[in-house]
């Protein structure tokens, strides 16, 4: 039996959540508000701003760029993550801890530093800025997340499962497809979704490296100069937040499933999905 938390803690938690989410809650409020001015009181309900998004050609291009970048980033960082996590989980090699730690560094580096450093290097290399340079930057910052997620999936996997498969006559490749992959698939899906979401929402690196292929966040940044377009941005923001939220929840669902499948029989981590 779990006991109830003390009242003071509960109040603190509620205040904290309000502080955290109040600005986000304002988004849908004004996204559906029938007024070009972002201010209270609200003046009526409308889908007008969403319709406006539909008609804005530049936005569609930004959306296309963002989706392309996010998909390629998700696949790229997850693939790198699979290799790294598998290697870290299975093989012992000199300096392993150091190397794995080093891969995780971008997790804590300020994005502006990564952005500036990348732009310097890319220009030195003579590459012109495009969606592909953004992808390079995004893979760099997403890979640590992918590794972290996949590492727990690979690490949790009991080594004797692979050996049992080999013992029953299955080949190495067969074992990978019949045992390892099914067990880490939830982790892979989780990694794909999270890196997709990070890339979709990322602004600073995209801003530095995007050239003419603007992404959605960069497009939004550009629109902020025009007060009249603000309600439409609110609508766009609402859509993006909803999508991110949905993706992250789905990712979390798969991450938990990965932990459960790979033989973590503890029932302790019971979250909202169980």
Partner 1 sequence: MKTPQKINDQIIAIEGVKKNFGDVTALDGVSLNIREGEFFSLLGPSGCGKTTLLRMISGFDSPSIGSVYIGGSDMTNVPPNERPTNMVFQSYAIFPHLNVAENVGYGLKKQKLPNDEINRRVEEALALVDLEGFGARESHALSGGQRQRVALARALIMKPKVLLLDEPLSALDKKLRETMQSELRKLQRTVGITFVLVTHDQEEALTMSDRIAVMFDGKIAQLDTPEGLYKRPKTKRVASFIGVMNFIPAKVVASTKTKLSLEVEFLGKINVTASNKIKPGDKITVGIRPEMLTILYGETDKADNVFSGMIVSASYYGDMTYYEVELKNTDINVMVSMRNTSGRPVLLTGTTARVGWGCESITVFDG
List the interface residues with partner 1, window 177-216 (CB under 8 A). Answer: 178-179, 182-183
Minimum distance, C-beta of residue 268 to partner 1, in the bound complex (Å): 15
Distance CA 101, CA 266 (A): 27
With beta carbons less than 8 A apart as the criterion, state whether 138 and 213 touch.
Answer: no
Q: Is 163 in the site for partner 1 (CB under 8 A)?
A: yes
CB closer to partner 1, 163 vs 269: 163
Alpha carbon 224 to its chain centroid, in Å, reads 24
| Burial zone of 57 (CB within 10 Å; 0-12 exposed, 13-18 middle, 19+ buried) | exposed
* Cα-based angle 83, 85, 98 (whole degrees, multiple of 5): 105
Residues 180 and 31: their CA atoms lie apart, in Å, by 45
CB of 176 to partner 1, least distance (A): 13
Binding mask 101-140 for partner 1 (x = CB under 8 A): ----------------------------------------
The answer to whether the CB of 98 falls within 8 A of the CB of 166 is: no
Q: Is 167 an interacting residue with respect to partner 1 (CB under 8 A)?
A: yes
Which string of DSSP letters, residue by residue, matches 81-127?
HHHHHHHHHH---TTHHHHHHHHTGGGTS-HHHHHHHHHHHHHHTTP
Binding of partner 1 by 153 (CB under 8 A): no
Q: Answer for the pair 190, 255: CB distance below 8 angstroms, yes or no.
A: yes
Q: Which range touches partner 1 (CB under 8 A), out of 72-80, 121-129, 173-181, 203-211? A: 173-181
Among 170, 176, 221, 252, binds partner 1 (CB under 8 A): 170
Q: Shortest gap between Cβ of 167 and partner 1 (angstroms)? A: 5
For partner 1, the binding residue among 55, 265, 271, 272 (CB under 8 A) is 265
**Which residue number, 171 or 242, has a Cβ lying nearer to partner 1?**
171
Question: Cis omega (within 30 of 0) on the bond before 41?
Answer: yes
CB of 163 to partner 1, least distance (A): 6
Site size toward partner 1 (CB under 8 A) is: 21
Residues of this chain that bind partner 1 (CB under 8 A): 158, 160-161, 163-171, 174, 178-179, 182-183, 261-263, 265
């Amino acid at each position: 039996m779990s006991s109830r938390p003390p009242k003071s803690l509960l109040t603190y938690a509620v205040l904290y959540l309000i502080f955290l989410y109040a600005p986000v809650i304002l988004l849908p409020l004004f996204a559906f508000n029938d007024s070009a001015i972002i201010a209270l009181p609200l003046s009526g309900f409308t889908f007008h701003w969403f319709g406006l998004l539909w008609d804005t050609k530049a936005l569609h291009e930004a959306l296309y760029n963002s989706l392309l970048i996010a998909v390629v980033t998700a696949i790229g960082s997850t693939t790198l993550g699979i290799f790294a996590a598998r290697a870290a989980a299975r093989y012992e090699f000199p300096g392993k801890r150091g190397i794995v730690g080093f891969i995780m560094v971008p997790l804590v580096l300020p994005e502006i530093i990564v952005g500036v450093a990348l732009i310097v290097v890319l220009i030195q290399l003579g590459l012109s800025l495009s969606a592909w340079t953004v992808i390079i930057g995004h893979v760099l910052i997403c890979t640590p997340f992918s590794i972290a997620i996949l590492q727990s999936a690979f690490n949790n996997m009991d080594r004797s499962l692979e050996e049992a498969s080999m013992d029953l006559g299955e080949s190495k490749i067969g074992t990978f497809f019949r045992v390892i992959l099914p067990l880490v698939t939830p982790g892979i899906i989780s990694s794909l979704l999270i890196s997709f979401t990070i890339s979709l929402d990322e602004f600073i690196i995209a801003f530095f490296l995007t050239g003419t292929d603007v992404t959605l966040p960069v497009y939004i940044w550009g629109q902020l100069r025009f007060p009249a377009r603000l309600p439409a941005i609110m609508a766009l923001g609402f859509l993006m937040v909803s999508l991110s939220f949905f993706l992250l929840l789905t990712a979390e669902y798969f991450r938990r499933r990965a932990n459960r499948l790979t033989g973590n029989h503890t029932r302790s981590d019971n979250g909202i999905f169980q």
